[in-house]
Amino acid sequence: MPGKTTILMTGVTGYIGGTVLSHFLKHPDFSSFHVKTLVRSKEKAAKLASLGVEPVVGSLSDEKFVEDTAAQADVVFAMADADNFEASVAILRGLKRRNRETGSVPILIHTGRVSEFNPSSKIMEDELTKSYLQGVLVDDAKGDHGTDTIYDDANPDQIESLPDTQLHRNVDLEVLRADKEGYLKSYIVLPSTIWGIATGVLVEKGIQNPHSQQVPQLVRASLARGRAGMVGEGKNIWPDVHIDDIAQLYIVLFDSIRKNPTTGHGREGFYFGETGEHTMQEVGKAIQDALIALGKAKTNDTEPSTFTQEEIDKYLDGSTYLGTNSRCRANRSRSIGWKPTKTKEDFLKSIKSEVEALMDK
């Protein structure tokens, strides 16, 4: 569409991507954008078309299709699987073509994982893969202690000091390399523990998954055992962010890129999403309180109990991932005008609604 900025979004049927698109549909400049959404389902494509976006039906596993689609975009929001190396590289090839053919410098807003930012991690890669969680800085605490290590998105030297072999880093290194070569500008959003049941038009139309991963996984395990559980003593610390707050970070970042040419990109383009911190013991207690209130607890003890190894194998795929530490500060994100509104207290209060949503499933 002549005169319009072409924007490609991937992952819009997912928890993050769908919420970002729901927010983006309300952007005051939406009429000046030509938004394309990559989607596999023809049924969901029809629903997306009714929202005023152009669905492009195809698969991320089709690298030529992904490259060709990205080559038509001025801006790409990559919000699908952060570890899909082949698809990520295909997007980069497409944006390189865009630069070569038009002379413009396209924008890539990539969704990463902050788990790569802990060089002391001893968690096995297959454990991390099985956990299916977003945004953590992991170690091997097994719930027995916290950590004083805090990562800062405004400290590129701290990030650059990591070895190239760090878990998940291979994708981000390709993105950073592309920025350094100058054929695109890269911005990497790194969500922490996202919470809250997603709402909005994509949920209403059955396009988007409305649930996160971490809390529902713990809730399902707790419902099955009749008592909230935690790995070890639950002393490990994680950051948290509401789904609407993290979606708003993408919008704030996009607007900053458009209006302020000094917005950090490349090595200075990491943007964490965090609004507070919690221990897993606190989460377990909130789940236990909800189980008792809803008549789903097998004991009136208000405290969670430690998962046995058998339960870790059964409910957590054998991983002690939920006993790791993850601490970060979103100083760069806040510096561009991101103003999250939800707090740790809101997070803990929300857990009862997660239990209610899952207890009859």
Phi, psi of 226 (to 5 degrees): 75, 15
Provide the pLDDT confidence category of residue 158 given band limits of 50, 70 and 90. Answer: confident
Instruction: Convert the pLDDT of each residue in 78-100 to its tens digit.
Output: 999 767 889 999 999 999 999 99
Q: Which of 341, 232, 242 is closest to 284 using CA atoms?
A: 232
Instruction: Convert the pLDDT of each residue in 2-61 to its tens digit.
Output: 689 999 999 999 999 999 999 999 999 999 999 999 999 999 999 999 999 999 999 999
Burial 93-127 (b: 16+ CB within 10 A, else e): bbbbbbbeeeeeebbbbbbbbbbbbbeebebeeeb
Q: Using CA atoms, how far apart are residues 7 and 333, in angstroms rounded to an integer?
A: 22
Q: So what CATH class is 5-358?
A: alpha beta
Provide the pLDDT confidence category of residue 171 given band limits of 50, 70 and 90. Answer: confident
What are the residue boundaries of the structural domains of the chain, listed by start? 5-358
Q: Is the pLDDT of residue 134 over 80?
A: no
Q: Which pLDDT belongs to residue 114?
A: 52
The DSSP element (H or E) to which 281 belongs, if any, is: helix 280-293
Q: Which pLDDT belongs to residue 151?
A: 87
Alpha helix ranges (H) inside 205-263: 214-225, 243-259
Provide the pLDDT confidence category of residue 285 given band limits of 50, 70 and 90. Answer: very high
Average pLDDT taken over every residue of the chain: 89
The DSSP element (H or E) to which 237 belongs, if any, is: strand 237-242
User: Which residues fall within 8 angstroms of residue 256, CB to CB, at 6 or more apart?
Assistant: 263, 336, 337
pTM above 0.75, yes or no: yes
The DSSP element (H or E) to which 178 belongs, if any, is: helix 169-181
Cα–Cα–Cα angle for 81, 69, 17, nearest 5°? 35
